[in-house]
Structure 1
Amino acid sequence: MLTIDITGAEVLGQQGFHRDGLSLSGGLIMDAPVGRAVDLTGFRVLPGIVDVHGDGFERHLAPRRGAMKQMAEGLVAAEAELAANGITTGVLAQFVSWEGGLRGMDFADQVFGAIRDTAGGLVTDLRPQLRFETHLLDDYAGLPARIAEWGVSYVVFNDHLPHARLAEGRKPPRLVGQALKAQRNPEVHFQMLLDLHARRAEVPAALDSLCATLADMGVQMGSHDDHTAEARAAWRARGVKVSEFPETLEAAEAADAAGDVVILGAPNLVRGGSHKGNVSALDVVSMGMADAVASDYHYPSPRRAALMLARSGVLDFAAAWALVSAGPARALGLRDRGVLQAGKRADLVALDAADRVAMTVSGGRVSYLSGDIAARLVA
C-alpha cells in the first residue's frame, strides 16, 4: 500500500479544490504527513469513482458465445478497464432473465461465483448486483437461497417483457435472433413469452413476499426503468427504495419527493438524452433530483459526465463529481469512501491537464498508472 504525502496537486474537497496536500497510509487517508512527499503539480486529485451500476463487464466475460471458459480471467480484464477509467468501487450488474444465454440463471451462477471467488484478490472493490426479471415466477422460491450463496447484497427488479405485443398475440421484434442467442427454437421462445405474460396477475403478490424475505436478509433493493409515480409508490411499499434510470420525469419526481435514491445513466448525460426517448438525465440533474450517476454500459462515461456537468455550469465541480463518488457511495451505504477526508479509504483518481486518468488508487493500492505520473511516484 502507498505511504505518501501528495503535494502540489489540486485536491478536491467537499467545498472545492485546495492545495493543502493529501497523505495516504495503511489504505486510509491520514490527518497528518507520513514522511514521503510526491509532487503531483499539474494534476487534479479527486475521490475515486463509485460505479453503482454497470454491465460493461459482459464483453470481458463472454466476448463471443462460448469463448470465455476461465471467467476469473475475464474479471481481471474487466477490472483493468474499470481502473483505467478512475473507478475504485464497481458494482457489476448481472441479469437473470427470460432472455436466457448470457442473461440466464446458469450463466449468472457462473458470474456470481467468479466474483465471489476472485474479487478479493483484485485491487478494485468489485461488488455483485442481481438484475432479476419479475415475471420469472418459477424462480422465486429458490432465489433467496441463491442470493445468499452468491453473496449478493443488491437486487434490482426489471420487467422487459413486450407486454403490448404479447397482449395482441404478436411476435416482438428481433424474436428469432433473441431465441437463437438463448439456444431456443423461436416458436418455443415465443410461447414462453406468452406464458410469462399470461401469469402477470400473479406477479405483484409474489413480489410482495419476495421483497419481504430479501429485506429480512438485509438485501438492498432497487427498481429499474420506473415509468409512473404509481409504479414507484408500489415499489417503495415493498421496501424497494432505489429508482434506477427512471424513464419519465413523473417517476423521478415521485422518487425524489419520497426520499428514494435516484440513479441516472452517465451515457444519457454524455449523449445529451436517452437513446430510447426517455426523460433526459440532464433535466433530472438540473432539477436537483439526482443522487448518483452510473456507468450503465460504458465505463468512461461517469468521469465524462461529471466533467461535462462542471464545464457547462450545471453544477460546480464538487457537486458534479459527488454524483460519481459521494452520492453513489451513500446510495450503497458505503460510509468509508466517496470523499477525500482523514479516516476514509484511500480511494482516489488523478487526472492530468487534459482530464485523462493518470492514476487510480483503491484502498491505498495502485490499480492504474500511466504516463509521467509514474516517474513521480516511483522516484
Structure 2
Amino acid sequence: MTKQSWIFAGAQVIGPDGVAAQDVSVADGLIVDQAEGRRVDLSGWTLAPGIVDVHGDGFERHVAVRRGALTAMENGLIAVEAELAANGITTAVLAQFFSWEGGMRGPEFAEKLVDAWLVAAPQVSTDLRLQLRLETNLIDRFDEALALIDRAGIGYVVFNDHLPHDRLAQGRKPPRLTGQALKSGRSPEAHLALMQRLHAQVDKVPAALAEMAEKLLARGVRLGSHDDGSAEDRAEGRALGAKVSEFPESIEAAAAARDHDEVVVMGAPNIVRGASHAGNVSAREIVRLGLCDALASDYHYPSPRYAALSLVEEGICDLASAWRLLSEGPARALGLEDRGVIASGKRADLVIFDAATGRVGATIAGGEITYLTHPLARRFLA
C-alpha cells in the first residue's frame, strides 16, 4: 500500500545543522528532497526528528495494572503505543527485566510480555523493540533467557545486579524486604532465602556471565551495563563487550565510558527533576560536561521532550543539541542508521510540537500518522 505523501511547510525544523525554517517532504515512508503530496502549513510549530527512546519501562502500568487483572496483555501494549505516539516517540525500546526479583521483573512475566509483543508490535506503526534486563546473579536460568532472546529476536541486553550484597554478606535483612517480597509473590522468608542462595554463589557469576556475553555477541546482540558506579564498574562491562553505559551513577563512570568511545545513556526524568531520585549524579551535570549521548524516558514517557526544553531553558545547550540526545544519539546507540535526523533518505519519523509548551500536535512514524490532535489537526484536515 502506498503511503501518504506530505509537504510540511513553514515550520522551524530541527535539522542536522541546527534550527531553521524550511520545507520537509515525505513520500513512501521516507524523507525526500521533493514530493507531490498534500501541503500542510506548520507555521508556528517546530518539526523535529521522532524521539528514539532507548530505554523505558513505563509500559508496565499498561500491561500489569493489577495482579491478574489484564489477561490479554497485547491490548495493554496497544495502549502503550498510543501513549508513546502522544509523546512524540517513534521508536521505543521496552526494557523488561529477567530477574530473581519476580513479579513483573520475573522470567515468567518476561515470557508473557514477549508473547504479547509478538501479537501487538506488527499491528502498530511505532517501532516497538524489546530490551532484556538480565540479572547477573540468576545464572541457573541463563539458558531460559537465551531461549527467550532467540524466540523474540531481542537485539539489546543489559546486565543488572540488584542483589544487596553488602547487607547479605553482613547477615542483615535488606531494606524494604517485605514490600519486595509481596511484589514477587513470595513470603519475606522465601524471598530472603532466594537472595541468600544467589549471593552464596557469587563466585560463579563472572565465568557464567562471560560465557553468556560471548553467546549474545555471537548472535549480534548489543550489550550494555546498568548503573555503573565507577570506572572499575565500566571496565567490567567493557570486558564483557557491553559498549553502552545506562544511567552511570557518577561522573567518573560516565567519563570512563566516553574515554573509550562508549555510549552513555541518562534518564530524562533526572533532567526534568534536576536531580536523581536515588541521589546519584545529576544528569544535567553529565550533559553539561558533554558526557551524555542519549536521554531515555526511563519510567516516564513525557520526560524526554521536556528534558530537552529544560536543557535549553537552563542554558546548558541549544535546542538542536538537546534534541540530538533524543533522536540521533539514541539511534546511534541502537545501531539504527536509518533514523534520528531529518535528512533525505531517512525514515519519515517526525514529531511536530509547540516549542513554547512542549505539547505534541502530531507524530509520524515511518510516514504514518500515529498521533494527531487539536489544534494542529485542523491544518491536516483542512
With normalisation by structure 2, the TM-score equals 0.97
2:377 pairs with one of 352, 363, 374: 374
Q: State which drifts further: 347-356 or 46-55.
A: 347-356
Give the match for residue 192 of structure 1: 194
Q: CA deviation at 1:33?
A: 3.3
Question: What one-letter code is carried by the residue in structure 2 that aligns with 1:111?
Answer: L
Equivalent in the alignment of 1:18: 20
Distance (Å, rounded) in 2 between the aligned partners of 1:240 and 1:318 = 28
For residues 238 and 162 of structure 1, the distance between their equivalents in structure 2, rounded to whole angstroms, comes to: 22
* Aligned partner of residue 173 in structure 1, secondary structure: coil
- Taking the TM superposition and a 5 Å limit, the aligned residue runs for 1:3-152 are 3-152=5-154
Q: Which amino acid aligns with 1:76?
A: I
* Contact persistence 1:249–1:279 (CA under 8 A): yes
CA contact (8 A) 1:228 1:248 kept: yes
Secondary structure, in 3 states, of the residue corresponding to 1:99?
A: coil
Structure 1 residue runs of 5 or longer lacking an equivalent are none
Deviation at 1:96, TM superposition (A): 1.1
- Residue correspondence of structure 1 range 317-336 to structure 2 within 5 A: 317-336=319-338
The answer to whether the Cα contact below 8 Å between 1:28 and 1:363 also exists between their aligned partners in 2 is: yes
Task: Note the alpha carbon deviations across 1:301-360, whole angstroms, 9 max, x for none.
Answer: 100011111222211111110000000000000011101111100001001253310000
Question: Are 1:129 and 1:155, in contact at CA under 8 Å, matched by a contact in 2?
Answer: yes
Measured against aligned partners, the alpha-carbon deviations of 1:219-248 in whole angstroms (never above 9, x if no partner) come to: 001000001111211211111110000011
Q: What amino acid sits opposite 1:40 in the alignment?
A: L
In structure 2, how many angstroms separate the alpha carbons of the residues matched to 1:85 and 1:35? 26
Please state how far the C-alpha of 1:266 moved relative to its aligned partner.
Answer: 0.4
TM-score, reference length from structure 1: 0.98
2-side partners of 1:17 and 1:181: how far apart?
A: 47
User: What is the rounded CA distance, in whole Å, between the counterparts of 1:17 and 1:285 in structure 2?
Assistant: 20
The amino acid that maps onto 1:90 is A
Q: Quick one: which of 201, 204, 207 aligns to 2:203?
A: 201
Give the distance between the partners of 2:360 and 2:378, measured in 1 at CA. 15
Aligned partners of 1:105 and 1:143: how far apart in 2? 8
Partner of 1:356: 359
What amino acid sits opposite 2:357 in the alignment?
Answer: A
> Is the contact made by 1:116 and 1:151 (CA closer than 8 Å) also made in structure 2?
no
Unmatched segments (≥5 aa) in structure 2: none
**Structure 2 Cα separation of the partners of residues 341 and 159 of structure 1:** 40
Q: CA RMSD in A?
A: 1.1
What percent of counterpart residues are identical?
57
Deviations 1:112-143 (A, max 9, x none): 12112220111110000000110001112333
CA–CA separation in structure 1 for the residues paired with 2:357 and 2:308:
14
Q: CA deviation at 1:66?
A: 0.9
**CA-CA distance at 1:12 after TM superposition:** 1.3
* Distance of aligned partners of 1:222 and 1:28 in 2 relative to their CA distance in 1, 3 Å threshold: same
Alpha carbons 1:291, 1:323 under 8 Å: kept: yes
Are 2:352 and 2:360, in contact at CA under 8 Å, matched by a contact in 1?
yes
Alpha-carbon distance in 2 for matches of 1:286, 1:100: 37
Tell me the distance in 2 between the aligned counterparts of 1:124 and 1:35. Answer: 22
- 2:37 and 2:237 mapped to 1: Cα distance? 52
Corresponding letter in the other structure for 1:95 = F
With 111-120 and 358-367 compared, the bigger mean Cα shift is at 111-120
**Deviation string, structure 1 residues 1-43 (Cα, Å, up to 9, x no partner):** 3311111111111122222201111100111132421111111
Structure 1 contact 24–34 (Cα < 8 Å) conserved: no
Q: Find the aligned partners of 2:293 and 2:361 in 1 and give their Cα distance.
A: 27
Closer/same/farther in 2, CA of residues 182 and 355 from structure 1, 3 Å limit: closer
Farther-moved stretch of structure 1 (183-192 vs 48-57)? 183-192
Inter-partner Cα distance in structure 2 for 1:339 and 1:265: 21
Structure 2 match to 1:308: 310
The residue type equivalent to 2:241 in the other structure is G
Hey, what does 2:368 align to over in structure 1? 365
Query: Could you say what secondary structure the match of 1:52 adopts?
Result: strand
1:245-273: CA deviations, max 9, x gaps? 00111111111101110000001111111
Work out the CA distance in 2 between the residues paired with 1:33 and 1:149: 40
Q: CA deviation at 1:181?
A: 1.9
Q: Which of 342, 352, 355 does residue 344 from structure 2 map onto?
A: 342
User: 2:267 corresponds to which letter in structure 1?
Assistant: G
Aligned to 1:102, the other structure's residue is in SS state helix
